[in-house]
Structure 1
Amino acid sequence: MTDSTKTRARGADKRRRLMAAAAQVLHRQGVERTTIADIAQAAEVPVGNVYYYFKTKDELVQAALSEHSAHLAEITARLDELPDPRERLKSLVAGWIEQRDLAARYGCPTGTLAAELDKREEGGMDAEVGQLIRSLMDWVERQFRELGRPDAPELAVTLVAAYQGMSLLANALRDPEIMTREGNRLTAWLDTLPAS
């Protein structure tokens, strides 16, 4: 490996660490309270180096959105390996339940970011986070379609809205068991839906 290849690899690693740190810190602190220094510290990158990869905090918010999108793609790709769409949906809900402590402390990463970005006047990133939520709804809708449900779009809204609601309540009340109870209720509901 040449020196220039090693340098590029180190640079790519720093960029990846900054993107992951941006997603994590913005979820925990929110956009307005997070500084570039906070993200640099979480990524273990000197603050001055951040500007080489990201010129503004908005670029870091954009990077966080990309991280959330990549994470959703990874989750749905793993779930798509399951043979049955109902099991895919139930596994999605199980994943939400597993994240109950994080949701109780900070809320849904995408939902909280959507609410915060919607209040900003500049940037237009609220539409991008909306696309991320739309991606989840589209995947959920495909599962219901595979079950032969003609009401797949409505069922997708019901499931994703239930997740956002239980995340919000768990966060507002600092009660992770809301995620457990409501997630189990969603799983039972999925079991009662007949395939058409």
Structure 2
Amino acid sequence: MAAAARVLHEQGVERTTLADIAREADVPVGNVYYYFKTKDELVQAALSEHTAHLDELTGVLDQLPDPRDRLKGLVRAWVEQRDVAARYGCPTGTLAAELGKRTDGTLDAETGAVIRRLLDWAARQFREMGLSGADGGADGADGVDGPDDLALTLVAGYQGMSLLANALRDPDVMIREGDRLLRWLDSLQ
């Protein structure tokens, strides 16, 4: 599953073959066929790997006592992956973009669920910080962003910096934009 996630991230779904996965995992191709009958099953395995990685990261961050520090730790973890992002983009974001172009609409929804998991985690952190909007709502209709809006801003910032770092092949984009996100988090009252 880890090999599938790596190769799909580096090559994309359409360019990846089961033989590529077998080579990366250092197993016979027959083993890959035994466990994964189709490429879509490999994509689902990669999504499971992305979910497990996200859960591991947020589990570590949840050990921190302060929700702001958890969010800042998330941003720092993203910036640490700047060389990978500059070369291949965000693993889940690039997969979502590629799968969103398919017409069957099944795997792209599963990719969206991984991103939704991150958004929900981030929104919980903003709620714990007491940032729930002036009327307690999440829609920002009162002029104050609620936790869902703040989570969306944070994750959108990450997706944007990953995309630009990849498009420009410049890992420094991640550093500069990561610093901006950290300052933004510090500014929230």
TM-score by length of 1: 0.89
Which 4+ residue blocks in structure 1 deviate beyond 6 angstroms? none
Secondary structure of 1:92 counterpart: helix
2:17 touches 2:39 (CA, 8 Å); kept in 1? Answer: yes
Q: Does 1:42 align with 2:37?
A: no
Q: 2:154 matched to which residue of 1? A: 159
Gap regions ≥5 residues in structure 2 = 133-145
State the alpha-carbon separation in 1 of the partners of residues 105 and 33 from structure 2.
19
Q: Does 1:137 align with 2:119?
A: yes
Q: Does 1:175 align with 2:170?
A: yes
State the alpha-carbon separation in 1 of the partners of residues 31 and 185 from structure 2.
48
State the alpha-carbon separation in 2 of the partners of residues 122 and 40 from structure 1.
26
Q: 2:141 matched to which residue of 1? A: none
Q: 1:92 matched to which residue of 2? A: 74
Alignment of 1:55-134 (within 5 A): 55-122=37-104, 124-134=106-116
Deviation per residue, 1:154-192 (Å, 9 max, x gap) = 100100000000000000000000000000110011111
**Which protein is richer in helix relative to its size?**
1
1:166 touches 1:179 (CA, 8 Å); kept in 2? Answer: yes
Q: Name the aligned partner's letter for residue 167 of structure 1.
A: S
Q: Does 1:192 align with 2:187?
A: yes
Deviation per residue, 1:38-78 (Å, 9 max, x gap) = 00000001011211111111111110000000110000000
State the alpha-carbon separation in 2 of the partners of residues 38 and 66 from structure 1.
19
Secondary structure of 1:34 counterpart: coil
Question: 1:121, CA displacement in angstroms?
Answer: 1.8
State the alpha-carbon separation in 2 of the partners of residues 119 and 55 from structure 1.
22
Question: 1:122, CA displacement in angstroms?
Answer: 2.7
Q: CA RMSD in A?
A: 0.7
TM-score by length of 2: 0.92
Q: How many residues align?
A: 176
Identity fraction in percent = 73
Gap regions ≥5 residues in structure 1 = 1-18
Q: Name the aligned partner's letter for residue 36 of structure 2.
A: F
Question: 1:123, CA displacement in angstroms?
Answer: 5.8
Q: 1:146 matched to which residue of 2? A: 128
Secondary structure of 2:131 counterpart: coil
**Greater radius of gyration (CA):** 1
State the alpha-carbon separation in 2 of the partners of residues 39 and 52 from structure 1.
13
1:58 touches 1:123 (CA, 8 Å); kept in 2? Answer: no
